[in-house]
Amino acid sequence: MFANRKIENIEMEVMDAVNQARKQQPLLNAMVSFTEVDEAIEYAKSSSGKMAGLPIILKDNVLTKGVRTTGSVQILDNYIGTYDATITTKLKEAGAVIIGKSALDGLGMGGTGTNCHTGFVHNPYDLTRMAGGSSVGSAVLVASGAVAFAIGSDTGDSVRKPASFVGIVGVKPTYGRISRYGIIPYASSLDHVGYFTRGVEDAALSLEVLAGRDDKDMTSSFREVENYLANLNGDLTGKTIGIMGNVIDAIRSKEVLVLFNDLVEKCKAAGAIIKVIHMDPVRLKTCLPVYYIIANSEATANHSNLDGVRFGMQERGDSLEELMTNSRTKGFSFLLRKRFIIGSYSLADENQDLLLRKAQKVRRLLVEDFKVALADIDVLIAPASSDVAPLLTDTSADQLSARYLIAENHMVLGNFSGYPSMTIPMGKINGLPIGINLTAKPFEEQVLFDIALGMEHLTGCKNMMAEVML
């Protein structure tokens, strides 16, 4: 746990992290760039901040002044940040030492870690497997032991799904709890800053550093930041835990269900009250298409400025239109171009009522259903994935099945609603981790952390690390 730790030699700890990340890079491919750390180390030596001397990683969509920030797309490969994101400033002020930037699925679009400009990112537990996405590099570097904390962002489940696949804690707080100023956007109504740790106590402390009002982000909340770590209580007695029955019904892996049911029984024995809750199954199956329409429409609007003219990489053409077409064609992967086409189609005047407006209305219905589901409980839980991390070559998913539409995509409800949600390790299946996801009511992060800590005590899955064979 990095909370309340004492560092005898900050420089040694930071350089150990840098060296470990460098040694692991040929196998994991999780880093985009390394930063100069000398000035940050000197500042950390005299800092009394909550992360003084802690080596950390930023997802490469977080702006850092004077540091290359690519968003893992070719069109931004030469882009140097001109200012610090608010969270970059907060982390620096807390004494953290940023050692580098991590790979992501391009502009946050993707859930596999295979859509990064720098190539596939590998799961440290099995190099032939995915580690999820889009915050894949940050998740992998925490799971491998290179760092104890890393920043991610979560638009659909981009922090919480990777956390499941690599056996760590992934937190997406309430919408507005953490400023997004200086984060390269994906979809503005869904984007959240998130982060990774290897334990719930560290997760609680981290939110104290990151949370708070920021006038540069008008969506950020004025709510006071609580003393999450000091108030942390892992006692499950009397806590009401809801099980998302639709997800359980959609899972086919017996091993996952055994792990989940075993944890539920342990929660009961620890004094928790368990309720099984079912949401409208027809509406739940709309989560993925609704997400695709809204997210890609917003992404298309947000990234219209990436045209090869104003900044970024430029591919020549005989006219302005040809230059822009060539730059965007070469600068974005096939998957991103596909998503921009979906977004452009949905934004067309003749399609907005048929697609975008309808998707927004269905989103509202899903949020109302989710609000009702959480009304009489403290948290709603379900496995964060229907199985362990898939192989990098796996393309077998039936995208119309309940297993895929519900069991693999239910966490997007946390983005539709903005409710706080986190994944913690539940255990391992054949040596591969899998996580459990918890969601609470808006701004009830303290409740979320309390119950997560109680579950962490029951699973014994604190501070899990993969052994990367160098």
Whole-angstrom Cα distance, residue 398 to residue 396? 6
Using only the alpha carbons of the chain, give its radius of gyration: 21
**Which one of 102, 138, 153, 158 is the catalytic residue?**
158
CA distances from 429 to 260, 325, 396 (A): 12, 47, 20
Q: What is the DSSP string of 98-117?
A: EEEEE--SGGG--SSS---T
Whole-angstrom Cα distance, residue 469 to residue 343? 42
**Which one of 50, 59, 92, 172 is the catalytic residue?**
59
Residue at 77: amino acid letter: D
The whole-angstrom distance between residue 22's C-alpha and the CA centroid of its chain comes to 23
Residue at 325: amino acid letter: T
Say whether 253 is catalytic: no
**Which one of 102, 134, 135, 206 is the catalytic residue?**
134
Whole-angstrom Cα distance, residue 446 to residue 443? 8
Crossing angle for the helix pair 86-93 and 200-210, to the nearest 10 degrees: 110
Whole-angstrom Cα distance, residue 449 to residue 453? 6
Whole-angstrom Cα distance, residue 107 to residue 29? 17
Residue at 105: amino acid letter: D
Whole-angstrom Cα distance, residue 109 to residue 296? 9
Say whether 59 is catalytic: yes
- The full 3-state SS of 180-246, as one line of letters, equals CCCECCCCCCCCEEEEEECCHHHHHHHHHHHECCCCCCCCCCCCCCCCCCCCCCCCCCCCEEEEEHH
Say whether 158 is catalytic: yes
The whole-angstrom distance between residue 127's C-alpha and the CA centroid of its chain comes to 21
**Phi-psi category of 8—alpha, beta or left, where left has phi over 0 and alpha has psi -120 to 50?**
alpha
Active site residues: 59, 134, 158
